[in-house]
Amino acid sequence: MEPRKFIFTSESVTEGHPDKICDRISDSILDEFLKLDPDSRVAVETMTTTGVVIVAGEVTSKNKLDIQDIVRNEIIDIGYDKPEYGFDGSTCSVLVSLHEQSPDISIGVTSNHEREQGAGDQGLMFGFAINETSELMPLPITLAHNLSMRLSQVRKKKELDWVRPDGKSQVSVIYEDNQPKAIDTIVLSTQHSPEISQDQLTEDLKKIVISPVCEEWITPETKVFVNPTGRFVIGGPPGDTGLTGRKIIADTYGGMGRHGGGAFSGKDPTKVDRSACYMARYISKNIVAADLATKCEVQIAYAIGVAKPVSIMVDTFRTAKVPEEKIEAKVREIFDTSPAGIIKTLDLKRPIYKKTSAYGHFGRRDPDFKWEQTDKVDSLGNI
């Protein structure tokens, strides 16, 4: 039987994409509360459209913040600092509606001398790792994120002074016998100033953005589409309404790992939607790093107010070198998957979340992201 051949596609967006503006604002507000009160309970959602940002949600903290000031500073820092962009942090309207966390929820997730901290909600969370890259991430999402990051980099360093903040990338990778072989298709779109020609835009992006990131995987047959509609001057919130939590696949594994449906940004670590996904990534990455499997997915599920997960599952897609039951038993032994245990293990009460709001929460080489460490390899190796 000939090895199966298929194409897998993942996408990424820049921090100037409307949905990512909202993720950035929500996580920046979370960080500011955690700086002042690490025990803050935060669940903040953001929406943005032409000239308007709306921030709403639940916050319980010892401190008060100037939310409007945080919102404006983040928008300007992203790059929306000129009226001609159609959206400007200095002049947009900012509407804020925040109230305290429901006491009915708080009572179930607050620890005391009689009870352990419970999960902030029911739900199922996934983590994933695969040995396709040094970061143990799928290659398509890794390349897509790297393209988006490079696009933002050339804008901020003014290597291409016509690039504006909004942008997207998409990479389709050819697989043979479950191994990545080459790039089939690249799609790169960026907001731009009106005076740049399509020919110059295409030439610049191929040379300065695409080639440095993807050259190793490009073949003569690779198809490249740059701003395929031909014009992308109107971008950001004037072009598309943004919402927190609408890029959950780009935030994780680009579609290659499963997703439980919960978004991350704007949520403090008592919300297992976020923290348990970080723990599941930590577990799966250590399993692959320990060479127990070449591919691994971990599911953890919770009941609201209950500390112990209702289930933990390890799936190695038939790549395990020891029985999965033994791996799963070892995971239960060495990883504390209670909400309090996750927060302690990964040190999640720190103000580290703004950095996660664009270019993926996983596969990043940032020492603050402790879920990317492989410090449990030796413990797992004793199976």
Residue 207: inside a domain, yes or no?
yes
Q: Which of 355, 358, 351 is nearest to 32 (CA)?
A: 351
Task: Specify whether the CB–CB gap between 3 and 177 falls below 8 A.
Answer: yes
Residue 224: inside a domain, yes or no?
yes
Residue 372: inside a domain, yes or no?
no
Residue 37: inside a domain, yes or no?
no
**Looking at residues 292-317, what average pLDDT do you find?**
97
Tens of pLDDT, residue by residue over 258-271, are: 999 999 999 999 99
Backbone angles phi, psi at 208, to 5 degrees: -100, -25
Per-residue pLDDT for 302 more than 60?
yes
Residue 189: inside a domain, yes or no?
yes
- Cα separation of 109 and 124, whole Å? 17
| Structure confidence at residue 115 (pLDDT) | 54
Helix/strand/coil for 356? helix
Residue 301: inside a domain, yes or no?
no
Angle, in degrees to the nearest 10, between helices 18-36 and 67-78: 130
Residue 75: inside a domain, yes or no?
no
Q: Kindly tell me the sign of the dihedral angle through the C-alpha atoms of 28, 31, 37, 38.
A: positive
Residue 202: inside a domain, yes or no?
yes
| Structure confidence at residue 109 (pLDDT) | 63
| Structure confidence at residue 113 (pLDDT) | 44
Task: Specify whether the CB–CB gap between 165 and 79 falls below 8 A.
Answer: yes
Range of the domain at 228: 5-13+139-235
- The domain total for the chain is 1
| Structure confidence at residue 335 (pLDDT) | 98
CA dihedral 58, 277, 245, 21 (to 10 degrees): 90
Q: Give me the CATH number covering residue 227.
A: 3.30.300.10
| Structure confidence at residue 112 (pLDDT) | 45
